Structures are given as structure tokens and as C-alpha cells.
């Protein structure tokens, strides 16, 4: 009989979650669940309607919207990442737009959205070995995970990482704006009432500020061996 395993990697923006969880999923040949892309997807879908404000005010309407929209959504979990198709079209760059970036933490603070996505992700992970990456993977979504990791790094290191990444796409991108956005999202993510960003019980904390991705990966592999 095959034993399915779950490894969670949580932490704030640009703490290294995406890079490390990709390396780890590849190394172990596990599927990669990037939960942030689902929060970004819901934000993108809500922004695509002309009725955003009403959805945010009316929880019944919001739930109905999520149920209807997700009938048209297909998620493919691979060890390379989480691929999202809407009406058979791959949605990727859209999820990283400035508009989505500015609103996602507000949408992610809504209880209806969190409950809906928590159930959705648990079903998605059934009978699979996965690396689950996000903000509340070890604390709320998969509290019985086999291994929990929490990555951190200083605000400035994280902002520099995100700035470098963004400069490739937006040449007029400003470091100060990136730093502000990161601090703003950290604040909303850590202070929200439902599933705030927190170090899960029994998680191993790794400060990635001065480590290369390979060094972080090796630390995690050592924990797995233990
Ligand atoms: O790549 P980055 O860490 O900046 O963001 P992400 O993982 O794509 O997540 C985008 C936003 O979704 C975060 O700022 C959180 O507000 C929200 N999120 C969440 O609330 N819970 C999760 N498990 C994952 C993401």
C-alpha cells in the first residue's frame, strides 16, 4: 500500500516559499499545491465582475459566486506547480497583476473565501503526496501534515528579492513600492481574524535571509531524514 504524505511550507511574501517548495516537490516527486495562486484566482475572478463591492458585502452571494465560478475552473497539480485553467485557458500572468496584488490580502481575509478554498484544497490533496505552500497550510488546512516548515526573512531581504523578480517584467517598478506592498500584505495577513499568518505548532522555522535555496533545501532534506 502506498503511503501519502503532506509537507507544508508557510511564511510571508518572498520568504522563499515558492522557490523552496518547487525544489522540494521536484526532489521528492511530490505534487505542488501553491495555495496563494488560488487566493489570487478568486481575487482575479472577483475583479473581473462589475459587482465586486456587492459580493464583498453579501456572504450568500459570494458563496454562490465561488461555487458557480469553480465549475468552470480546472486545477492541475504537478511537481512543477499548480496550473489553473478557466474555460480551458491557462491563467497565469493575470494572477500576478498589480490589481490582483493590491486586493488579494483583503479577499483572503474573508471567511467565506477561506472556508471555501480550505475545503477545496483538502479535496484536491486527497490520496496524493503533496508539498503545500502558503500562509495557513500547517496551521489550518493540513494540521496533520507529516512535516511543517515555516520560512522567514527580513523585510528588506524579501523586498529586494521581489523587486529583482518584478524588474524583469516592469522596468519602472520602484523598490519602495514593493517594500510597502510586502509590509501592507504582511500586516493584513498576520492580523486577520480568520487563519492569520502564524508559525504552526510543531513547525521548523528557517530564516532564509542569508541562505541560498540549495542550503534551505538541504536543511529540509535533513529534517525529512530525521
Ligand atoms: O508569492 P507571495 O507569497 O507574495 O503571495 P502568494 O503566495 O501568491 O499569496 C498571495 C496572497 O494570498 C497572500 O498575500 C495572502 O494574502 C493570501 N494567501 C493566504 O491568505 N493564505 C494562503 N494559504 C496563501 C495565500
Q: How far is the CA of 130 from the centre of ligand 1 (A)?
A: 18
Kindly report the protein residue whose alpha carbon is nearest to atom 21 of ligand 1: 135
Is the torsion defined by CA of 20, 22, 25, 30 positive or negative?
A: positive
Instruction: For a ligand 1 pocket test, name from 21, 113, 132, 134 the mutation site with the most ligand atoms within 8 angstroms of its C-beta.
Output: 134
Closest ligand 1 atom, residue 117 Cα: 23
Domain ranges across the chain: 6-225
Closest ligand 1 atom, residue 34 Cα: 7
Give how far Cα 102 sits from Cα of 3, 34, 64, 135, 226, Å.
40, 19, 24, 17, 40
Q: How far is the CA of 135 from the centre of ligand 1 (A)?
A: 6
Question: To 10 degrees, the CA torsion angle through 5, 10, 13, 15?
Answer: -90
What phi and psi, each to the nearest 5 degrees, are found at residue 155?
A: -55, -45
SS3 breakdown of the chain: % helix, strand, coil, rounded to 5?
Answer: 55, 15, 30
Q: CB neighbours (10 Å) of residue 187?
A: 12
Closest CA to 12 of 115, 113, 121, 161: 161
Closest CA to 18 of 171, 153, 204, 193: 153
The per-residue pLDDT string of the chain (226 residues; one tens digit each, 9 = 90 and over) reads 456 799 999 999 999 999 999 999 999 999 999 999 999 999 999 999 877 788 888 999 999 999 999 999 999 999 999 999 999 999 999 999 989 988 999 999 999 999 999 999 999 999 999 999 999 999 999 999 999 999 999 999 999 999 998 888 888 889 999 999 999 989 988 998 998 899 999 999 999 999 999 999 999 999 998 8
Kindly report the protein residue whose alpha carbon is nearest to atom 13 of ligand 1: 105
Question: To 10 degrees, the CA torsion angle through 95, 101, 107, 109?
Answer: 120
Which CATH superfamily groups domain 6-225? P-loop containing nucleotide triphosphate hydrolases (3.40.50.300)
Q: How far is the CA of 197 from the centre of ligand 1 (A)?
A: 10
Amino acid at each position: 500500500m502506498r503511503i501519502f504524505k503532506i509537507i507544508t511550507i508557510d511564511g510571508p511574501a518572498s520568504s522563499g516559499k515558492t522557490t523552496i517548495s518547487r525544489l522540494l516537490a521536484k526532489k521528492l516527486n511530490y505534487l505542488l499545491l501553491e495555495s496563494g495562486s488560488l487566493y489570487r484566482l478568486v481575487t482575479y475572478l472577483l475583479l473581473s465582475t462589475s459587482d465586486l463591492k456587492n459580493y464583498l458585502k453579501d456572504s450568500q452571494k459570494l458563496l454562490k459566486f465561488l461555487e458557480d465560478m469553480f465549475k468552470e475552473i480546472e486545477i492541475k497539480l504537478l511537481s512543477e506547480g499548480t496550473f489553473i485553467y478557466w474555460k480551458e485557458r491557462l491563467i497565469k500572468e493575470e494572477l500576478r497583476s498589480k490589481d490582483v496584488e493590491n486586493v488579494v490580502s483583503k479577499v483572503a481575509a474573508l471567511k467565506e473565501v477561506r472556508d471555501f478554498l480550505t475545503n477545496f484544497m483538502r479535496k484536491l490533496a486527497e490520496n496524493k503526496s503533496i508539498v503545500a505552500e502558503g500562509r495557513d497550510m500547517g496551521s489550518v488546512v493540513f494540521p496533520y501534515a507529516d512535516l511543517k516548515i515555516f520560512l522567514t526573512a527580513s523585510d528588506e531581504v524579501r523586498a529586494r528579492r521581489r523587486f529583482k523578480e518584478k524588474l524583469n517584467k516592469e522596468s519602472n517598478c520602484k523598490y519602495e513600492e514593493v517594500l510597502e506592498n510586502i509590509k501592507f500584505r504582511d500586516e493584513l495577513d498576520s492580523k486577520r481574524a480568520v487563519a492569520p499568518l502564524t508559525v504552526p505548532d510543531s513547525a521548523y522555522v528557517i530564516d532564509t535571509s542569508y541562505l541560498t535555496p540549495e542550503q534551505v533545501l538541504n536543511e529540509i532534506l535533513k529534517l525529512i531524514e530525521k
